[in-house]
Amino acid sequence: MKPKLIILNGALGVGKSTLAQRYAEEYPLTLSLDIDEVRRWISHFREEKEKSGPLAKKIAGEMARVHLKSGYDVIVSQIFCQQEPLQEFENIAQESGADFHEFLLSISKEDALKRFIKRGQSEGYLDGFKPGGLVDLGGREKKLEKMHDDMMLTVSQRPRTKIIESVDGDIQGTYTKLLESL
């Protein structure tokens, strides 16, 4: 059986990481790849955001390549606001002999903002924004809205993306739809 490279694209707070972890728990030796976590491994990533972001994506791509060539699935949970990184992952899958599956966990811009703030509040941040976090570095709501718009524009240019509606509180239903689409 060929390994799979699964992309879970979607707004911040939509449940990408939760679904990726669930998949990894169910399918042994799956690499659940969080590019933001890889970025945090790079010292001074916030101060050097123009360099650390692309570098983290390259590192993650190489990790995916090694894992796929070893015969195991990779699931990437990330908001993708540009086509280039998605195309790179698609190329890695092709070069590695893996099946490529690209998903958008879809919610409205308004719901995305509400879920992001709700998640931040559940983590103890009264206004929903982690002080000094990547989104907190100016603009907050406007930045989230722009990210959502850029993500939707990117998806509109990738016609093979499978869209799954993400219903707040229905992790099982969303996960079931993901598995059915694979």
Write out pLDDT tens, residues 115-135.
666 666 666 655 545 555 555
Higher pLDDT, 174 or 12: 174
Min mean pLDDT across 9-13, 46-50, 59-63, 106-110 is at 106-110
**Is the CATH number 3.30.465.10 carried by domain 4-168?**
no
Q: Grade residue 114 by pLDDT with cuts at 50, 70 and 90.
A: confident
- pTM of this structure: 0.84
Query: Does residue 152 surpass a pLDDT of 70?
Result: yes
CA 88 to CA 111: how far, in whole Å?
A: 29
CA 8 to CA 41: how far, in whole Å?
A: 21
pLDDT confidence of residue 130:
56
What distance lies between CA 76 and its chain's CA centroid? Answer: 6
In the block, which residue shows the tokens 């650390």?
52
CA 75 to CA 61: how far, in whole Å?
A: 11
pLDDT confidence of residue 136:
47
In one-letter notation, the amino acid at residue 135 is: V
Is the separation of the CB atoms in 93 and 41 below 8 Å? Answer: no
- Give the residue-averaged pLDDT of 50-76: 95
Query: Does residue 174 surpass a pLDDT of 80?
Result: yes
Is the separation of the CB atoms in 13 and 116 below 8 Å? Answer: yes
- Give the residue-averaged pLDDT of 66-87: 94
